[in-house]
Structure 1
Amino acid sequence: MKPFQFKQFEIQQSKDVFRVGTDGVLLGALANVSEASNVLEIGTGTGLISLMLAQRNTKAKFLGIDINDEAVKFTHINFQNSPFASRLKNIYHDFKYFEIEEKFDLIVSNPPYFEASDSEKDKIARQTVELNFRQLISKSSELLTKKGIFSVIIPVEAGLEFSKIARENGFHLIKEINIIGIENSKIKRQILEFSLIKRPFEELEFIIEKSPRQYSDQYLELTKEFHIFRK
């Protein structure tokens, strides 16, 4: 399968691993990585989100974890071929049983959310079979530093339930970015950011396209340091 080329790195991808998609690009471009020094990505796929975050924060170290061995293989290739290779590491592991002494000041994930599928890659990457929201949130609360941020992108339909479980695990919602696919349409995704300490709450709106297949100025500005747009 043809690699996806970004300005500073490329993504080798496979039909057996979730390919570069808008959700990953948005989280990679919008997650609050500015103050982070030690970042964990849960469910790396091909490593896109960590690579974007590494481009945005030139000092942070990154660890990616995935239960799909094919994803781990591609993430390793993409990490090693990037300009940020010395700061990037990935491992094959089940996050539910992940134990490590160090804590992280940013944890990011584009987590599983589809309830049913016949696809094997969907079964692991997009269902709650291997890792449900409660497991993801509970484990992340244990691994996050007190002042750290837990950042996810999920379908809007799951937002209330995800936030409820997060509150039960000691998290405070500090940012909600409502993602609209096409201008004047309904919200389709949310980027939610949580902290273990109370902070001022911020709510934002983000529009991907101003009309079908026409990116909004907001999206073009956000991704201008990443995407190679055809003229």
Structure 2
Amino acid sequence: MGFQCQQFYIKDDQCAMKVSTDSLILGSYAGVNEARYALDMGTGSGLLALMLAQRQPQLQVDAFDCDAAAVAQAASNVAASPWPGRVNVQQGWVETWHGVRNYDLIVCNPPYFSGHPASESVARQQARQGQATPQQWLQCIARNLHEQGLCYWILPYSQAEVWQREAQAVGLCLSEQLAIRTTQRKPMKLVVQGWQWQPCATVKKEEMLIHATDGSYSSAYRQLTGEFYLAGTGSSLKAQ
């Protein structure tokens, strides 16, 4: 099982959470700019880390996950990719992680299904619901984000307010936001937010549909994620 991107292949059969549109949106949207060092918190299969490496040729990426099987699979995916020397995968925990440097860019697709019914797989349930609280995720970000750095995450729209409070509590300021509907008729499902230490005079806010009226991926979604999908493979993924 896995997902073929244009420049790399992701195996995810050993990971509780599979490749989904969530990570593809986040990895495509996050501003890599002139970043030299990035951190992927809760990397899972390593998809986000490899997306960042593809987008910014000078970027060095550290990635961690608490699940040993996911770490092993992410490391295997990295080793098989074009950038094995630029992505470092380790086992680590949000509650205690502290990198050897502060990062220009931090990304995370955190577990956010707290309150959902128990999953069939204990590992999947743990990955979705997580052990660390939003406060602990934000404290980890605060410990590791450079004073000029940017942090991006993707969340259910319904949980954005909780995370926003915790972000503001550690001193972060919202810089941009992409609100996402799966279809035009459905309410907002997801939100990508970018955060930094310095306040922004204007917060950039946009909206996007994942699917067009005919069920295919929308032109906006295709444009955003286009450098990763192979032609003809853009119809098999779902939001988590």
Distance 1:110 1:143 in 2: 16
Q: What is the deviation of 1:185?
A: 2.5
Normalised by the length of structure 1, the TM-score is: 0.94
Q: Where does 1:5-84 land on structure 2 (aligned, <5 Å)?
A: 5-14=4-13, 16-84=15-83
Contact persistence 1:43–1:125 (CA under 8 A): no
Contact persistence 2:37–2:61 (CA under 8 A): yes
Q: What is the deviation of 1:183?
A: 2.4
1:178-206 Cα offsets, whole Å, 9 max, x none, are 01111242110000111111123110111
Q: Where does 1:191-202 land on structure 2 (aligned, <5 Å)?
A: 191-199=192-200, 200-202=202-204
Q: What is the deviation of 1:95?
A: 2.1
User: Aligned with 1:108: secondary structure?
Assistant: strand
Contact persistence 1:44–1:65 (CA under 8 A): yes
Distance 1:122 1:170 in 2: 32
Q: What is the deviation of 1:211?
A: 2.4
Q: Which region of structure 1 is more displaced relative to structure 2, 103-112 or 203-212?
A: 203-212
1:215 matched residue in structure 2? 217
Q: What is the deviation of 1:148?
A: 0.5
Q: Which region of structure 1 is more displaced relative to structure 2, 204-213 or 133-142?
A: 204-213
Q: What is the deviation of 1:97?
A: 1.1
Contact persistence 1:31–1:151 (CA under 8 A): yes
Distance 1:16 1:193 in 2: 26
1:168 matched residue in structure 2? 169
State how many pairs are aligned: 229
Distance 2:10 2:99 in 1: 28
2:237 matched residue in structure 1? none
Normalised by the length of structure 2, the TM-score is: 0.91
Contact persistence 1:17–1:46 (CA under 8 A): no
Is residue 2:215 matched to residue 1:178?
Answer: no
Letter of the structure 2 residue corresponding to residue 221 of structure 1: Q
Distance 1:212 1:45 in 2: 32
User: Aligned with 2:177: secondary structure?
Assistant: strand
User: Aligned with 1:211: secondary structure?
Assistant: coil
Letter of the structure 1 residue corresponding to residue 86 of structure 2: R
Q: What is the deviation of 1:73?
A: 0.7
Letter of the structure 2 residue corresponding to residue 224 of structure 1: G
User: Aligned with 1:90: secondary structure?
Assistant: strand
Contact persistence 2:32–2:56 (CA under 8 A): yes
Q: What is the deviation of 1:16?
A: 4.3
Letter of the structure 2 residue corresponding to residue 32 of structure 1: G
Q: Where does 1:20-169 land on structure 2 (aligned, <5 Å)?
A: 20-116=19-115, 117-118=118-119, 119-128=121-130, 130-169=131-170
Q: Which has the bigger relative contact order, CA under 8 A and spacing at least 6?
A: 2
Q: Which region of structure 1 is more displaced relative to structure 2, 179-188 or 59-68?
A: 179-188
- Larger fraction in strand: 1
**Percentage identity across paired residues of the two chains:** 28
Distance 1:111 1:196 in 2: 20
RMSD: 1.5
